[in-house]
Amino acid sequence: MRKILDAALAEFGERGFGESSIVGITTRAKVALGTFYTYFDSKEAVFAALVRDMSGQVRDYVAPVFAEATDALDGERRALAAYLRFVVDRKEVYRIIDEAEFVDPEGFRTHYETAAARIAGRLREGAQNGEIRDDGELANEVRAWAMMGINVFLGLRFGVWGREDADAVAEHANTMLRDGLKA
């Protein structure tokens, strides 16, 4: 199944959902058409599985960086830098997630909701540890979604459109989170 998902990533990433085909995926994977249908019923099914897989890959790639964090915001800086490095090597993730809004709306929503929930959990823990303000659960959720938006658009600008030093970009974003925009 891994070969098929990797081939689907390449196929959908290069051609988009509409122009991709099961034959294109199986050709890239170097597997028989029947092998595809052992795991997936349709092009839509492999796309949905790919969205879940990409979400899991981002989570698994970023998760280990928290072990060395000095506090909650340092963890977020490290997470953003890791995410940017992930995107540089897997630019097609943006096209796939964007198309998921229309091809797999439930997967699209789940991708963002679970990412925001992970960030909110980290912020909640940081507040419990006295590392960041605790302004209540609504504020925590707003911050999580805002931080995710920062990550997504910095990934687009500095990971997909132009490669910059991931640590430097993450440091600038982290300074904004720590200090706000005050003079």
Domain residue limits, the chain: 47-179
How far from the centroid of its chain's Cα atoms is residue 151's Cα? 9
Beta-carbon-side half-sphere exposure of residue 74 (alpha carbons within 13 Å):
7
Distance CA 104, CA 46 (A): 10
Residue 67 burial (10 A CB sphere; 0-12, 13-18, 19+): exposed
- Answer yes or no: pTM beyond 0.85: yes
Q: Mean pLDDT across the chain, nearest whole number?
A: 95
**CATH architecture for residues 47-179:** Orthogonal Bundle (1.10)
Q: Specify the pLDDT at position 163.
A: 79
Distance CA 83, CA 80 (A): 5
Put residue 180 in one of left, alpha, beta given phi > 0 → left and psi -120 to 50 → alpha: left
pLDDT digits (tens, 9 = 90+) for 9-67: 999 999 999 999 999 999 999 999 999 999 999 999 999 999 999 999 999 999 999 99
Q: What share of the chain in percent tops pLDDT 90?
A: 95
